[in-house]
């Protein structure tokens, strides 16, 4: 046990023999030129001054090496290391030791913080795989903000106890489906990235209380309705993503009272259909006049008292769904929209239709059932394209 120097280089060792762990007074340990794939916890070698690990098969250095305060020489060239990453290694052994010590410290802090070392221009471009095998009970918080990370590996799902995850100020474009497995995640921070896509699986994050995706390409959830809370913000962003793909935006159930800015600045002319329901306000409906060229509006199951004049400005509309509202009157401008082919006014409280108006000749289907109509204007009979009148 009084052994101070031990050299086992140039053998075929694949692991350190357990007997070595008895030599607690070691000052020099040379394990170079072997086939060692994994090291044990090294904290017991408190007096170790020199450690040589060159030419082995190590994929990571154990965090416990960071506890060896007497270590003066650490050599580990020619190993297929994933951690420490090359950006850390290039900064020298002091930076490597600090990197390892941060990982070891999670046993006491439950937090792993690997922000960029801006003073040294050190930026990670990946999250090292070995981090996902750290003691899961201590991995409650992970901060890798202000780096150059382009993707989050699926291995993130291994950190099942994770509560706080900060990947802000990176270069992420998409988030992995594996995030949906982090059932205890309560705070997710990803602002200032290039995000364009989040997975549907994020709907399953029942504990989510903070969802920060500001200054990304996803959009900005409005401070209204269900979008005021984190899970509602996830739903809103997923609706935007789906809408951009298919050109039809469904925001029903979001309880919005105003048209979100993301809708008003919709890219190009790709938005053709817009759907709201449940808590639709008059001001929100009027805001649709700013969206062009919409071809379909779905405002079913609301409490609209009348059809706002603003809708008349949407001259490209071909389909209007106003089923089950509280509409009492219908103005001439609505039924005379030149491109209108489908009009659903069923289940309202309409008592009469304009008698002296020329209905759009393009209307093919008109639904009026479930109202309080006493008569139907004769001018409807002049609609040459009309195929169905219910």
Which residue do the tokens 């962003």 mark? 237
The mean pLDDT of 97-119, rounded to a whole number, is: 84
Whether the CB-CB separation of 40 and 58 falls below 8 Å is answered with no
What is the pLDDT confidence band of residue 316, given thresholds at 50, 70 and 90? confident
| DSSP H helical ranges for 75-169 | 86-89, 93-104, 106-109
What is the pLDDT confidence band of residue 284, given thresholds at 50, 70 and 90? low
Where in 34-83 does DSSP place strands (E)?
A: 50-52, 73-75
Give the per-residue pLDDT at 61: 95
Confidence check: pLDDT of 281 > 60:
no
What is the pLDDT confidence band of residue 291, given thresholds at 50, 70 and 90? low
63-67, 91-95, 268-272, 302-306: least confidently modelled range: 268-272
The mean pLDDT of 17-33, rounded to a whole number, is: 91
Tokens of 352: 């009469």
Coil/strand/helix, residue 324: coil
Give the per-residue pLDDT at 374: 84
How far out from the chain centre does Cα 292 lie? 28
Give the per-residue pLDDT at 296: 85
The mean pLDDT of 316-325, rounded to a whole number, is: 88
The full length of the chain comes to 390
The mean pLDDT of 297-323, rounded to a whole number, is: 80
Confidence check: pLDDT of 163 > 70:
yes
Give the per-residue pLDDT at 269: 64
The mean pLDDT of 19-38, rounded to a whole number, is: 93
Confidence check: pLDDT of 81 > 80:
yes
Angle at Cα 116 formed by Cα 111 and Cα 121, nearest 5°? 155
- Please write the tens of the pLDDT for every residue from 201-255: 999 999 999 999 999 999 999 998 899 999 999 999 999 999 888 888 888 788 8
Rounded mean pLDDT of the chain? 87
- Please write the tens of the pLDDT for every residue from 34-74: 999 999 989 889 999 999 999 999 999 999 999 999 999 99
Question: Which position has the higher pLDDT, 356 or 30?
Answer: 30
Give the per-residue pLDDT at 339: 87
From the list 231, 215, 228, the residue with the least C-alpha distance to 258 is: 228
Confidence check: pLDDT of 304 > 90:
no
Question: Which position has the higher pLDDT, 304 or 232?
Answer: 232
Whether the CB-CB separation of 251 and 273 falls below 8 Å is answered with no
Question: Which position has the higher pLDDT, 189 or 243?
Answer: 189
């Amino acid at each position: 046990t009084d052994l101070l120097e031990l050299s086992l280089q140039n053998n075929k060792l694949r692991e350190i023999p357990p007997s070595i762990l008895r030599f607690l007074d070691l000052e020099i340990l040379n394990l170079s030129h072997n086939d060692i794939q994994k090291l044990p916890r090294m904290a017991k070698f408190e007096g170790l001054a020199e450690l040589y690990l060159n030419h082995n098969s190590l994929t990571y250095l154990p965090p416990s090496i960071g506890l060896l305060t007497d270590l003066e020489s650490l050599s580990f060239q020619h190993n297929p290391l994933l951690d420490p990453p090359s950006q850390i290694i290039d900064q020298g052994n002091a930076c490597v030791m600090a990197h390892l010590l941060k990982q070891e410290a999670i046993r006491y802090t439950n937090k792993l913080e690997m922000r960029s070392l801006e003073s040294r221009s050190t930026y990670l471009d990946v999250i090292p795989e070995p981090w996902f095998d750290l003691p899961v009970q201590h991995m409650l918080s992970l901060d890798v903000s202000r780096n150059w990370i382009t993707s989050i590996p699926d291995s993130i799902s291994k950190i099942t106890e994770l509560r706080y995850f900060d990947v802000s100020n990176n270069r992420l474009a998409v988030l992995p489906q594996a995030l949906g497995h982090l059932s205890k995640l309560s705070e997710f921070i990803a602002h200032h990235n290039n995000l364009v896509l989040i997975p549907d699986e994020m709907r399953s994050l029942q504990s989510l209380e903070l969802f920060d995706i500001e200054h990304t390409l996803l959009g900005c959830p409005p401070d209204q309705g269900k979008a005021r809370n984190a899970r509602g913000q996830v739903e809103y962003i997923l609706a935007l993503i789906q809408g951009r793909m298919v050109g039809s935006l469904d925001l029903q159930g979001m309880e919005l009272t105003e048209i979100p800015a993301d809708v008003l600045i919709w890219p190009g002319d790709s938005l053709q259909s817009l759907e709201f329901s449940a808590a639709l306000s008059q001001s929100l409906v009027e805001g649709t006049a700013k969206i062009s060229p919409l071809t379909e509006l779905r405002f079913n199951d609301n409490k609209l008292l009348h059809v706002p004049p603003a809708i008349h400005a949407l001259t490209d509309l071909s389909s209007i769904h106003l089923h089950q509202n509280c509409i009492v009157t219908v103005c001439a401008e609505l039924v005379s929209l030149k491109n209108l082919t489908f009009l659903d006014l069923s289940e309202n409280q309409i008592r009469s239709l304009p008698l002296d108006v020329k209905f759009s000749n393009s209307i093919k289907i008109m639904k009026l059932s479930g109202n309080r109509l006493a008569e139907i204007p004769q001018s409807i009979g002049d609609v040459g394209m009309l195929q169905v009148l219910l």
